[in-house]
Amino acid sequence: MNNDCIRFLGVLFPNIEKLILPCVNDRLRVPQRLLSSFPKLSHVQIFFLPPFNSWRSCYRQDVIDCQNLDYTFVQNFAKILRFKSDQSNLVSIPNNAKSEDVINTLKYFVETERFSLDKTDIITSLHPTSFTPSLIDYILQVHEKQQKAGYERITFTQERIMNSSLFFGLPDAIMDYMLETQFFKKLTSTESIISSSFVNSLLTSITSLKMAKLLFEQAEWPFVFDEVKNPLLILIANSRNTSVTSELISFFCNLKPGLISLGDENGIISNEVASLNILNLYLNMQKGLNADDSIIEALHRNGADITFVCPNTGNNFLHICPYSEYLAEHLPKEYFLAKNNRNNNPFERLLKRIEVDNDLTPDKVRLAIHVFCKAYKKYDISLDDLTFENDMSLLHKIISLQKSVAIPELVMADLNCNKTDNQGKTPLHLYIETCPEHTGFETAEILIDAMDVEVINKEDHSGKSPLCALLERYAPLPFASSFSFMYIRGPTEDNHLKIIELLLSKGADLNRSIQSLDGDVFVKGNIEHNRVIVLASLLYSAPIMAPTTLANVLKYWDNLNELLVTPTEVQGVKITPLCFMLSSWVYNSTKVLEMQKVFEGDHSILDKELLKKSIITLNDQQVDPVLYVLFNNPYIVDHIFQVLNAILFIPIQPNNTGMWWTYQECNRSDLCKALLGYQYEDLQFGTMNILHSVCKAKSENLLSHFLTMLTSNAPAQCSTLLASKTSKGYDVLDIISQYGIYNAGKMLITYAEQYLCDKIKWSKQNLRSAFSNHKYEFCFLILCENDELVDEFTLDELMEICIGYTLERTDYDKDFQVSIIDMLEFIFKRTNNEQKSKLNCLTKPFAITRFKPNQIRSDNFSRTLLWKAALVNATSACSKISRSIMERETIKRDISWLELSYWKGLNYLVAYIIQNDTSHRKRKQILTNSNLKASTVIEWITRKIQPKGATILHLLCEDLPSGRNYMPSVKHELLDDLLKFLDKTDQFDEVVNIQDDNGESPLFYAIRNQSCYEEFLRVSDLKLKNKEGKTVDQCYDVTFCAKYFEESSEAEEQQRMKDETDEEKKVIESKKKSKRSVTSKKQTKKKK
């Protein structure tokens, strides 16, 4: 019934008071203004069809007092659907409805409301578990009565089948009762089942042989249709349970003989054609990958031909599906040896497929190798004789394809594990070089057990044994987090370490393997160096993560205690294995108790006495474990206190929170007591206490945390430590000033104000000490706060401090430049300098001493991330200690304020120097608008600055300053101003082409750094050569500025052509003159 019909009813019967409306599939098709069509309508009854929907229990809705409904429903009545209120009541089947509830609801529909069984859709909409014998009997009774009364029979549609769980969810007992009562045979007729798509949908849903018997044997539903696929193909393509599918294959083949081959080569049934090889289609359908042996067996037992060979490719079924044990057992030997059109037998094709097919799972590879090993053994075919590229055996080949899961199968098939390829590598060599990290111990164990003992130490052509190869690529386990509830734990066994242990137990030569190590941080032939590095790598996480395995490995090391503190050089820094282990602990969140177990307890690994001595000697200074730990610089400073808690063997603080996941922190109170008694004998400062040592570590963050811990747990001792001096008379500020840590000193002064009666403050000696150690920033900041200390320095020293401080900066914004100008003004006024002497001072070069940067870089190592990071951390800590003991290597540079300002793009400082401008306004034409003599400026500009002999023009093209985005443009402005000034002189070309000590003009610098190159390309000599005799375009890639060089070449060519033309004109003119001269002489003779 459509909307127009309902409106027409409203016109014919305006006095209707009650309406019954169907809601089919949750759609109520009525006019929006239904109530306006029936002005006297008071009651509407909505039936939801089908009523037994599996996800909706409501089957009826009663709406009363319709004329007083909410305005929303008056405007659109369909919105009242499933709306519950005082005027709208929903009638539902009770939750967990019993059989009686379902029967009563069905009775209401078929007896009271007179619905047909077909409209209730009870068969496909009811949940399978709701069917009972009594319900089945009632449905059959109602069906019989309705058939006599002329009702239509029950029909099944594809849509109903797709939304129903009837055909795969009925209990066995119910299906038995349906078979007994001929349920489907009585309800349906075979004439009503005419749709092939319906039957195909049904075949994909059936998961029980009894259901198939109910429908296709007892009810005689058709399942074979012309112009569609063979039903067996539908079954096997949608198989959910292969054992049931196998039974269904046999069932349908028995029900219709010849079904197994019915159809054309693609499985389409037409005119009883029987040329189908269903097994070939099935295997190709699954790409041979997911084919199931039970289905293959069922097809074969019912007549499918397994000896088929594809005429197009020459592949037999072993080529297509090498994973089938059934095919391997039932095909003769010649099928294993048969070649396809590409001259590959099934096993050779399998190997090629393993090499290129990423869809092959490890289990499939293992199964395929198992199948062929078993069959080859059965037919006495040798796998050991197979050879591949580079003289690899089958074991080599499988390992090279990274399919180690198949190795156990090959070893069980008695393949020779001692063979070598053309590089002298055994399968174990290859496996160790390619096996993933933290995996493969069981496989390696199988290979090692199958090898002859004398082959364990066999070296390849590069001189490396399997143990050597493993030590080179050893990848330790990562540390597990202390907060286990936040950490998804990774592998729990260090399999690489277990393989090392196994090789050593089988007689592997440790010393020879270590001596052969090469590359990365190893030095081939240097056994002493390599021993230290290998031991360090083993100590990364294994003491915590794999203590038992590590203990077994360390038994094979001679003089272990001595070796743990034996230094070796890495990137110019000496480290020891013990240093490496402590650094790895500091940089990882390691539990205190686990660290303590490494040195003490029933299962300790290392000797506790090691922690009571020096663990490394740097520059004749012995370094104990406590000082070494302090010099580490982790992301989280608390890690340092955890490690100190561990190596001082302080009991951990008990967990009293009641929360098992809370980490037990180190015992800060007892740690403070232990550290208060700590002393360190320093060559420079003498006997130092813990606060002196923390200051020596040069870490503001560590000092802050230490003072906080000290004031919280031992406030009485805080004042004593702050006021204490070393045995050579140095206090904390003396030590801080030696290293130039200004903020650390400020922190100590602040704490002293709280805990000392006598305040501590910077002294003249502190300032002098910092100056003598070239700590320019430290000196500058103290001078800014203490005006009276300025008088302690000469003007030249003050200039050196300010220039050195500026050089150490990285951000040169306006505020910074203003602060420098203010400081310079203060210094000049303090020293009574006049304008002329001020200019001389600002253009005078001063010797600035800078320290060479630390050369330790993580990208110098190519090892795994964890190993590499820990090695960098250890070398950094040792380097830091070494630099604190001895003088660092320095670089001296003579530079003036003017040169520095142009180099770093300090435009406000340039204006201050040239024009004595203190207004702090941005000026562009600084030199151009100045009154300076050209000769004076050129003298400044052309002065060569050591060590390279660069001038201001060279420096303008050097490193761009970091900081604000306008800085690069500032350099361009300064250069433009300088070039305009030079343009007014007669020395322009000479100055812009000035060469440094390497013969490079500013243009070389500009092209190399790609800075200010356009300005110099316009004015420079592009053919100028350096000391190596090369022009700038011969030294660097000039693609980005090629047009300038092309224009230069064109100009030269034009000039050359012009010169040639001029020369030709001269020759012609000369000839003409010569000819005129000859003619004149002849005429003269005639006259005579």
Residue 119 has pLDDT above 70, yes or no: yes
Q: In terms of DSSP H, where are the helices of 457-608?
A: 466-472, 495-505, 510-515, 527-538, 542-545, 547-554, 560-564, 577-586, 592-599
Residue listed under structure tokens 């083949």 = 253
Q: What would the pLDDT profile of 796-838 be if each residue is shown by its tens digit?
A: 999 999 999 999 888 888 899 999 999 999 998 888 766 668 8
Residue 174 has pLDDT above 60, yes or no: yes
Residues 6+ apart with CB under 8 A from 1028: 999
Q: CA quadruple 182, 188, 193, 197: dihedral positive or negative? A: negative
The b/e string for 848-880 (b: 16+ C-beta within 10 A; e otherwise) is: beeeeeeebeeeebebeebbbbbbbbbbbbbbb
Lowest mean pLDDT among 749-758, 974-983, 1071-1080: 1071-1080
Q: What would the pLDDT profile of 943-976 be if each residue is shown by its tens digit?
A: 998 888 999 999 998 865 444 344 568 888 999 9
d(CA 218, CA 127): 23
Which comes out higher in pLDDT, residue 1048 or 302?
302
Average pLDDT value for residue range 110-115? 86
Residue 96 region by backbone torsions, left for phi larger than 0, else alpha for psi between -120 and 50, else beta: left
Question: Which residue in 952, 848, 950, 948 sits closest to 898, CA to CA?
Answer: 952
d(CA 103, CA 212): 27
Q: What mean pLDDT value characterizes the chain? A: 86
Q: What would the pLDDT profile of 370-383 be if each residue is shown by its tens digit?
A: 999 999 999 999 99
Residue 283 has pLDDT above 70, yes or no: yes
Residue 469 region by backbone torsions, left for phi larger than 0, else alpha for psi between -120 and 50, else beta: alpha
Q: What is the pLDDT of residue 234?
A: 92
Average pLDDT value for residue range 494-504? 91
Residue 868 has pLDDT above 80, yes or no: no
Q: What is the pLDDT of residue 1060?
A: 56
Residues 6+ apart with CB under 8 A from 1046: none
Average pLDDT value for residue range 127-138? 89
Spans of all domains in the chain:
1-83, 95-194+209-222, 224-305, 308-381, 927-1055
What number of other Cβ atoms are within 10 A of residue 1043's Cβ?
A: 10
Q: What is the pLDDT of residue 140?
A: 92
Q: What would the pLDDT profile of 45-100 be if each residue is shown by its tens digit?
A: 988 887 777 666 788 889 998 888 888 888 888 888 888 888 899 888 776 667 78
Average pLDDT value for residue range 613-637? 90
Q: What is the pLDDT of residue 7?
A: 76
The CATH number of 927-1055 is: 1.25.40.20
Residue 657 has pLDDT above 60, yes or no: no
Percent of the chain with pLDDT over 70: 88
Residue 941 has pLDDT above 70, yes or no: yes
Lowest mean pLDDT among 243-252, 480-489, 618-627, 712-721: 480-489
Residue 310 has pLDDT above 90, yes or no: yes
Q: What is the pLDDT of residue 95?
A: 64
Question: Which residue in 431, 509, 427 sits closest to 468, CA to CA?
Answer: 509
Residue 895 has pLDDT above 80, yes or no: yes
Three-state secondary structure along 354-393?
HHHCCCCCHHHHHHHHHHHHHHHHHCCCCCCCCCEHHHEC
Q: What is the pLDDT of residue 665?
A: 61
The overall longest dimension of the chain from CA atoms, in Å, is: 161
Residues 6+ apart with CB under 8 A from 123: 117, 139, 154, 156, 166, 187
The DSSP code sequence of 888-950 is PPEEEEEE-HHHHHHHHT-HHHHHHHHH---S----S-TTTTS---HHHHHHHHHPPBTTTTB
Contact 806, 799 (CB under 8 A): no
d(CA 812, CA 908): 10
Average pLDDT value for residue range 1010-1020? 88
Average pLDDT value for residue range 897-919? 90
Question: Which residue in 952, 781, 746, 946 sits closest to 850, CA to CA?
Answer: 946
d(CA 1035, CA 1007): 10
Given pLDDT bands bounded at 50, 70 and 90, which one contains residue 14? confident
Given pLDDT bands bounded at 50, 70 and 90, which one contains residue 202? confident
